[in-house]
Structure 1
Amino acid sequence: MKGIRTVEALADGILQVADWVTLHITVWVLLGAGLYLTICSGAVQIRFFPRMVKTVLSSRKGAEGGISSFQAFAISLAARVGIGNVFGVAAALLMGGPGAVFWMWVVALVGMATAFFEATLAQVFKVRANDGTFRGGPAFYIARGMKSRVMAKVFAVITVVTCGFVITSVQSNAVASTLTSVFGEAANQPIPGFGEISAADLTVAGLIFVFTAMVIFGGIRQVARVTEWMAPIMAIIYVVMVFIICVLNAGRFGEVVGQIFSSAFAPQPLVGGLGGGILAAVINGTKRGLFSNEAGQGTAPNAAATATVAHPVSQGFIQSLGVFVDTIIVCTTTAFVILIAGPEVWGGEDVNPANLTTLAVAHELGTWTVVPMAILIFVLAFSSIIAAYVYSDTNMTFLTGQKTWSTWSIRVLSVLSATAGAVLSLDLVWNAVDIAMAVMTVTNLVALVWLSKWGIGALRDYVAQRRDGIEEPVFVGQDNAFLPGDVPGDVWAKHSADDHRE
C-alpha cells in the first residue's frame, strides 16, 4: 500500500508540474508561434482553405511506387482522430469545463498555420531511405536547416521514447479502460495470482498484441496501406454517429455554444458536475487540444515527410486541413454530444474520461451503441498506435541510420508497450506525457520560427507557379530565387523535378 501511495503522490506531483508548464510555457509558445506563422504567411490557413480541400481530394495519385500524399495524410489522421477525440475531449470537459472547448478551437485555428509550416519543412528537408520511401520531420529539418545536430538528436530521443513507449501505452490503456466495461462483471474480476489484472484485461491486451504485430512488423509501407482506408472510414463512422445526435438536438445548439463561451472566461467553475474556471479551461483546452490535433508538437511532420509529392506546399496544405478535421469537426461534435447529454450523464459518480463519451452517446441513441462504440474506440486507438510507431521509427532512423537492428527494435518496443499498456495502471505515464509533449512542442516551435523563411519561400514558389498557370507546381531546391539558400541533398534536385513533370 505504501508503494501505491508513493506512485500516486508522484503522479500528482508530475500533474502539477505538467499544468504549470502548460500554463506558463506551452500555451504562450504555442499561440505565439502560431500567430507569428499565421501573420508572416498571410493567414495561409484561411487564404488557401479551398485549395487544401482540393489537394486532399486529388492526393491519392502521384506516389510513383512510394507512399502517396493521401496515405501520409491518413497516417497522421490516424494519430489525430483517435483517443484524443474521445478520451481527450471528455478529460478536457471534466477537468476544464465547457470553456476548454473554446481554447481547443483557438489552438486548432492557429495550429493550422503551424501544421502547414512543419509539414512543408518536413518535405523540404526530407531524405530518401534505402527502401525507396522518404524520412523526415523535426529532427531532420533541425539538423539540415538549423545545422544543429545536438538539438536534433535531443528531439529525436524524446520522440522515440514518447511515441514508441509512452503514447502507445497511453492509447492502449485508454482503450482497455473502455473495452473492459462491456465484458461484464465476471470477466472483470481479478485473476488469482495476477494482481488487479482480469480476464477482460488479458483479452484486450491479446487483441492489441495480435493486431499491432500484424501491421507494425510489416513496416511503414504496410502501415500506410492499412491507415489509408481504416483511419478515414473510422473517422467518418464516428463523425456520422455524433452528427446524428447533434442534428436531433439542433434546438440546443445555441445553449451549448453559450455554455462554451461563458465558461471559457468564467473566473470560477460552473456548477453541475463539470470542472472549469478560466485557468482550468486554458490548461485543459491547450493540453487536450495539442494531444488531439498535434499541431506544433512535431509528430505529424514525421508522417508528412514520407509522402511522394511534386511540391512540399501540397503536403503542407493537406496536413493543415487535418488539424481542421480533427478539432473543429470531430472534437467539437464530441463535446456537443457530451454537453447535450447533460448533468445526469457527466455528473455521475462513476464517470471518467474513459467512459464519458460512450455514456453520452448511449444516453442519446440507446444502450445498443455501447458495443459499437467500444469497437470503434478500439480501432481508433489501434490506428493511433501504429501511427505513433511510424513517428518513433523515423526518429530512430535519424539517430542510428538505417540499421536493421534499430528498425526491428522499435517495432518490438512499440508492440510490447502497446500490449503492456492494456493491463497496467498508467496514471503516472498519462501525466508524464504532457511534460514530454511540452518539451517536444517547444523545441519544434523554436525550429519552425527559425526556419520560417524556408516555408514562406516554398509557399511563394508555389503561388508564383500557380499564377503562371501551372495547375500542379513542381519544386526545385537548388537555385530557387524564393528560398534563402539551396536545399541540401538531391531529393529536390532539378532531375527529380523533371521526373515529376513527366
Structure 2
Amino acid sequence: MKKYLLSLFAIISPFLTFAQEAQEMGIDQKIDKIFGDLTGWFVTAIFYQIPFTDEVSVYWVLFPLIIGATYFTFYFNLINFRGFWTSINIVRGKYDDLEGRKDHKVEIAKSPFTDEDDNPDTIRVEGHEGEVSHFQALTAALSATVGLGNIAGVAIAVSIGGAGATFWMIVAGFLGMASKFVECTLGVKYRDIEDDGTVYGGPMYYLRKGLKSKGLEKLGKILAVLFAIFVIGGSFGGGNMFQVNQAFQLVESITGGNESVLHGKGWLFGVVMAVLVGIVIIGGIKSIAKVTDKIVPFMVAIYVAAALFVIFANIGMVGDAFAQIFNGAFSPEGVAGGAVGVLVQGFRRAAFSNEAGVGSASIAHSAVKTRYAASEGMVALLEPFIDTVVVCTMTALVLIITGNVTSANAGLNDAQAILLTSGAFESVISWFPYVLTIAVVLFAFSTMISWSYYGFQGWAFLFGRSKKMEYAYKLIFCVFVVIGAAASLGSVIGFSDAMIFAMMVPNMIGLVLLAPKVKKELNKYMQAIKEIKK
C-alpha cells in the first residue's frame, strides 16, 4: 500500500504544479477552449434539444430513457410496485437461505442451476460466491447516484418548473425502477469472475455475451466497446472532476467565499481528496463497498432527518405544499413552458439524478454474492425509489415550504443551487449549512470512488485485466481529482457528462433486446422464493 501511495504522490506532483500555474496564467481557460472546439459537436449531439413549443425544448436522451422505463414497467407486470416488498426482504436477508450451498465450485455438468440459455461463464458465475453482499452492492451503486443531483438538481428543477416538477420527478423515479431492475439482472447474469473471485461485469459484458446468444455477435461487440469508451470518459469528468469541483466551491463559499483562506487553493483540496480516494480505490470493489455501506446510509439518514425536521417544524404548510405539487403538475401558473415545461423539468432531473437506463449501476451490482441474477435486479430497483422518490421529494418539500420556489432562481448553476438549498435548510436549522457542506463533500467522495470502479471496469474491458493496467487507470483517476478541483475545465466536464448519457444509447438497445432473458431469470427466482415459503 505504501508503495502505491508513494507512486500516487509522485505522479500527482507535476500535475499539482501545472494546476497552480494554470490558475495563475489562465492556461486552463485556453485548454478549455481548445478542448471545447474539438469536442463541441459530440456534446451538442448528445444534449441536442428537440423544440416542442416556443418556450420548451426537450433533450432527446430523455425519450429513450422514459419510453424504455415505461415499456419495462408494463413488460414485467409493474415489477417496480409488485416487487417492492420482496426487494426490501432481500436486502434484509430474508431469502439468504436460497444462496446457501456447500461447495461454491459447482461443476458445470452437475450444476442444478443450468438452463438452455446459459453459457459456461454464466453457469460458473451462478455457482460462485461473488464479492459483496446485496446491501453493499446497493450502497455502492447508490453512492454514485445520491449526491449533487438530489440537492442542486432539485432546486434547479423547481425553480424552472415550479412545485409541479416534483410530481413528474416522482413519476419518473417510479418508472426508472423497472430499468434498474432489467440492467442489474443482466449485469449479474452475464458477469465474468476470475479464479481469484474478482468480478468483471456491466453492460460491456451483457451486451457482448447476451447479444451473441441471440445471434447478434457483431452488434454486441460494437455496442460493448462503445459503452466501455463512454464509461471511461464519464468516470474522469462527471464522476470525478465535476464532483470535486462542486464540492470545493461549496466549501470555499461556506468558509468565506473570496475572503476564505481556501480561496484559490483548489489544488490543496484536490490533493487531500485524491489521497483519500486513492487509499480506497486501490483496494477494489470490496474496499469501496466497505466505505459506501457506512457513508451512504449515514449521509442519507442525516439529510432525510434534517428534511423531516424542517417539514414537521412547518407541518401546517405541508398540505399546501402537496397541493402546489399536484396542481402545478397539471395546471401550472407563471411557469416557463406551462404543463409541458413542468413535465420536462421533472423527468429531466429524475433521469439525470438516478441514471436508470444509463447502465452504470449494473457494474456495481454485478459484484454481488448471489446465484440468482434476478435477486440483485430486485435489490437495484430500490435505488431510484431512494434516490428520486424519497431524497429528491424531501428536498423539493423543503424548498416549497421555505418559499424558495421562484422563477428568479431559474438561472442558477449547480454550485449556486446547492447554496439555495442550504439557505432553505438554514431558515429553520441555523447550523445546518455546515452539516450540508460535510454531506456534499461526502456525497462527492462516495460518488467518485464508485465511478472510479465503473471507469476501471470499462478500462479493463478494453485494455486487459493486468495489475499494470489497473494501477495505471487508478493513478490517472487520482490525477484528474486534483485537476478537477484546481482548474476551470467546463468543456472537459461537459464532454464527460455527454459521455455518461451517451452510455444510454448502446445500453438501452441491449436492454430491450435482452428483456426476455430477464423475464426468464425473474420467473426462476420467484419460483425459488415460492419453494422456500412452502
Query: Residues 70 and 59 from structure 1, CA distance in 2 versus in 1: closer, same or farther, beyond 3 angstroms?
Result: farther
Q: For residue 90 of structure 1, what is the aligned residue in structure 2?
A: 155
Taking a change above 3 Å as real, the CA distance of residues 443 and 424 of structure 1, as seen in their structure-2 partners, is same
Letter in 2 for 1:361: F
Tell me which of 479, 482, 507 is aligned to 1:419.
482
Q: 1:257 to 1:223 in 2, by over 3 A?
A: same
Counterpart contact for 1:59–1:69, Cα < 8 Å? no
Aligned to 2:115: none
The question of 1:286 aligning with 2:347 is answered yes
The alpha-carbon distance between structure 1 residues 9 and 164, as it changes in their structure 2 partners (threshold 3 A), is: closer
* Superposition RMSD in Å: 3.1
* Structure 1 stretch displaced more, 379-388 or 354-363: 354-363
Match among 353, 360, 376 for residue 439 of structure 2? 376
Alpha carbons of structure 1 residues 452 and 129: separation in structure 2 relative to 1, 3 Å: same
Deviates more, 1:346-355 or 1:132-141: 346-355
Tell me the equivalent position of 1:173.
245
Deviation at 1:186, TM superposition (A): 5.7
1:322 aligns with 2:383: yes
Question: 2:136·2:293 contact (CA, 8 Å) conserved in 1?
Answer: yes
Secondary structure of the corresponding residue to residue 469 of structure 1: helix
How far did residue 468 of structure 1 move? 2.8
Q: For residue 456 of structure 1, what is the aligned residue in structure 2?
A: 519
Q: In the alignment, which residue of structure 1 is the partner of 2:272?
A: 207
Give 1:150's aligned amino acid.
I
Judged with a 3 Å threshold, the aligned counterparts in structure 2 of structure 1 residues 5 and 431 are, in CA distance, closer, same or farther, namely: closer
Distance across 2 between alignment mates of 1:344 and 1:106: 20
Identify if the C-alpha distance between structure 1 residues 448 and 269 changes in structure 2 by more than 3 Å, giving closer, same or farther. farther
Cα distance change on mapping 1:73 and 1:398 into 2, 3 Å: same
Letter of the structure 1 residue corresponding to residue 513 of structure 2:
W
- Deviation readout 1:350-378 (Å, 9 max, x if unpaired): 88223121111111211x22211111111
Structure 1 residue 342: deviation in Å?
0.9
Aligned residue pairs, count: 459
Aligned to 1:359: 423
State the match for 2:282 in structure 1.
217
Unaligned runs of 5+ in 2: 1-25, 51-56, 100-127, 213-219
1:452 counterpart SS class: helix
> Aligned pair 1:75/2:140, yes or no?
yes
Q: 1:373-412: CA deviations, max 9, x gaps? A: 1111111111011011111111112212212222112211
List runs of 5+ in structure 1 lacking aligned partners. Answer: 191-196, 472-502
Q: Tell me whether 112-121 or 253-262 shows the greater mean CA deviation.
A: 253-262
In 2, Cα distance between equivalents of 1:4 and 1:347 = 33
The residue number in structure 1 matching 2:234 is 162
Residue identity over aligned pairs, in percent, reads 29
Does residue 153 of structure 1 match 2:225? Answer: yes
The alignment status of 1:35 with 2:101, answered yes or no, reads no
Secondary structure of the structure 2 residue equivalent to 1:298: coil
1:20 corresponds in structure 2 to 49
CA distance in 1: counterparts of 2:289 and 2:36, whole angstroms: 41
Structure 1 stretch displaced more, 462-471 or 211-220: 462-471
Question: For residues 139 and 187 of structure 1, do their structure 2 counterparts lie closer, same or farther at Cα, with a shift above 3 Å needed?
Answer: same
CA distance in 1, matches of 2:515, 2:191: 16
1 CA distance for matches of 2:45 and 2:423?
29
What TM-score, normalized to structure 2? 0.78
Offset at residue 23 of structure 1 (A): 2.2
Distance change >3 Å, CA 8–CA 183, structure 1 → 2: farther
Question: Quick one: structure 1 residues 434 and 278, their matched pair in 2 at CA, closer, same or farther if it must change by over 3 Å?
Answer: farther
Is 1:387 aligned to residue 462 of structure 2? no
C-alpha distance in 1, partners of 2:376/2:412? Answer: 43
Task: Give TM-score, length-normalised by structure 1.
Answer: 0.83
**CA distance change for structure 1 residues 40 and 223 in 2, over 3 Å: closer, same or farther?**
same
- 1:126-181 CA distance string (max 9 Å, x none): 11035413221111100000121111101111011112333211111221121111
SS in 2 for 1:422: helix
2:81 corresponds in structure 1 to 46
- Determine the C-alpha separation between the residues in 2 that align with 1:4 and 1:397: 28
Distance in 2 of aligned mates of 1:5 and 1:415: 20
Deviation of 1:234 (Å) = 1.2
The separation in 1 between residues aligned to 2:521 and 2:224, in whole angstroms, is: 22
Q: Deviations over 1:262-317 (max 9, x none)?
A: 433457743xxxx6644443443333212211211110000010111131111111
Give, in whole Å, the separation in 2 of the partners of 1:231 and 1:164. Answer: 21
Structure 1 residue 346, shift from structure 2 partner: 8.3
Alignment-mate amino acid for residue 69 of structure 1 = H
Partners of 1:116 and 1:42 in 2: CA distance: 12
**Greater shift after overlay, 423-432 or 307-316?**
423-432
Supply the distance in 2 between the matched residues of 1:185 and 1:72 (Cα, whole angstroms).
38
Cα drift, residue 433 of structure 1: 4.7
